Copies of this chain bind each other. A is one copy, B any other.
């Protein structure tokens, strides 16, 4: 029997003209929560993959790149991060990385989609690796916007690990100047905000640079950085924004903090990786400089999913 024939495929559309095809070993779960369509599949190349509304969220093979890049630069920048807030981050891997810093006393995670978090616990336990069971962890299933409006706590580090701010998404209003100001007001002294900030390749830098420019209206000197995540078929952008203008950490300082915090087991992040992801290609820096658009609540429709039929 021709048992090796691949017949199940996951086609991730990037725009009207580009897609990546992944052959699948199996579909582990397929369903719909109140907020999104969820697929959990297994690929021979990338292992288990979480797919929300057709977009890859993370894969077993390379989620370490995405989650280490999202978490460690921000926490390493902070001399003594104790209270951490995560917005989104349903898989629990952002939580997992945060808890590796011994100074952390509490991590609060606000995710709108409880069903998704339960699915991740059940089908993707490698992602959270028991982080949900930590006594330091508190999870709230609420809308992050509403939660922060009513919350009167401050945080050393706030990490935004949300889905893309497409027009109909609950994430849409969480990438605006207004919301970034709310974030800022919840940062403790020396506080740091970091967020996943969309694709960052030479042909699709637009949204990333708009988010960057929006942050610049609120924070003194946001810094873009980017990591190549192969399962996304993309270079992924992040932005770090500190409350205060700090001198950049030196190579030796980063390694020193990694050592002090017992983070030598990380697979992606260390001082050289830091240098790699924070030094940007020339065209990237120029695109950041040129961007003048800002995301604001009143007219937050700059971000459009590309229209048109795929074929």
Contacts and interface: CB of A to CB of B under 8 A. Distances in A.
Q: Is the interface of A mostly helix, strand, loop or mixed?
A: loop
A5 B272 CA distance: 39
Interface string A296-311: 0000000001011111
A122 B7 CA distance: 23
B279 A272 contact: yes
B203 A1 contact: no
B30 A26 contact: yes
A259 interface: no
Interface string A280-295: 1111010000000000
Contact of A45 (B8, B18, B234): B18
Interface residues of A, number: 74
Contacts of A46: 203
A140 interface: no
A272 B276 contact: no
A261 interface: no
B279 A61 contact: no
Most chain B beta-carbon contacts within 10 A, residue among A21, A166, A203: A21
Interface in A246-290: 266-270, 272-273, 275-276, 279-283, 285
Given A8-B10, A9-B9, A21 B23 contact: no
27 contacts: A1-B169, A2-B305, A3-B37, A4-B309, A5-B53, A5-B54, A5-B311, A7-B11, A7-B54, A8-B8, A9-B11, A18-B20, A27-B27, A46-B203, A64-B283, A65-B281, A227-B281, A233-B233, A267-B282, A268-B283, A273-B279, A273-B280, A275-B275, A276-B279, A276-B280, A308-B309, A309-B310
